[in-house]
Structure 1
């Protein structure tokens, strides 16, 4: 499915997008390049955020979509949508660091919610956020997500998720009704 909103082209990722999507996600969260935006995790995690295998797995999964957002033919944002019974899971959300803070993220998440609701008839969107990311959680709360207090442990020792710089990391479930 392909849609255009506010000068942005939304489409499902293909195998040919893998390298560009890995680079986008890494630039939004890891290393010095990520410091150009506000979503950086560089102070709490080193190492990778994702890899080509992880991105390809999302693209190939029958219950997932990797929504790719282009402006002027260039990938500028992405997010994972996964159908899980009555809700959808929202993850792998990345906006190019140099474009953060200008409303692009709001547009992307609103379109992702719309597409999940229309494609799967889900009534809620779920996501997990590292619990120490107060600024990011506050941003999601302004978009209608609520903290549940339900925590899951951070996968310490699994470098596919990064190398923690602190020992108090865990994920909190955020939920938003899609009505």
Structure 2
């Protein structure tokens, strides 16, 4: 990972940061799909937010993103993975994802996620070994089994 890129456990007060971060990162794509609703977006973030499973991504000590790995039925769901728009395209997402996948491989854990139809993020996930599982009109569901 970049020397000054770190993750830290989140605090309850970080929930509002993640709500606002999702709006900054996801609103354009959700509007494109005709699915943007501020209250629904807020509710979904707060339902997925967990101080136990969510991390805040920091660069030079400043928050630049979030990510959560939630256990479910023997697998983990990658959720709340948002990066500030100003930091996208700088390798931060790949660095954080590589670290999470190394942890999952060491634990023998399968990771699942969903990404919006047409999202550029799908390419990032596929470059890191995620493969198509299923889809609906809004989301594409991807899975990555442990390496080795």
Q: Name the structure 1 match of 2:67.
A: 79
Q: 1:176 aligns with which of 125, 144, 147?
A: 144
Query: 3-state SS of the aligned residue for 1:50?
Result: helix
- Measured on the aligned residues, the alpha-carbon RMSD in Å equals 2.5
TM-score by length of structure 2 reads 0.81
Cα pair distance change 1:113/1:137, threshold 3 Å: same
CA distance in 2, matches of 1:51, 1:178: 32
Give how far 1:95 is off: 0.5
Give how far 1:126 is off: 0.6
CA distance in 2, matches of 1:67, 1:93: 9
Q: Name the structure 1 match of 2:36.
A: 46
Query: 3-state SS of the aligned residue for 1:46?
Result: coil
- Does the aligned pair in 2 maintain the 1:147–1:172 contact within 8 Å? yes
CA distance in 2, matches of 1:74, 1:50: 24
TM-score by length of structure 1 reads 0.69
List aligned pairs for 1:85-96, cutoff 5 A.
Answer: 85-96=73-84
Cα offsets for 1:86-136 (capped at 9, x unmatched):
321101110100111111110111122234445xx2431111122x22533
Larger radius of gyration: 1
Query: 3-state SS of the aligned residue for 2:32?
Result: coil
Gap runs ≥5 in structure 2: none
- Does the aligned pair in 2 maintain the 1:78–1:95 contact within 8 Å? yes
- Does the aligned pair in 1 maintain the 2:45–2:80 contact within 8 Å? no
Q: Post-superposition, which runs of at least 4 consecutive aligned residues in structure 1 deviate over 4 A? A: none
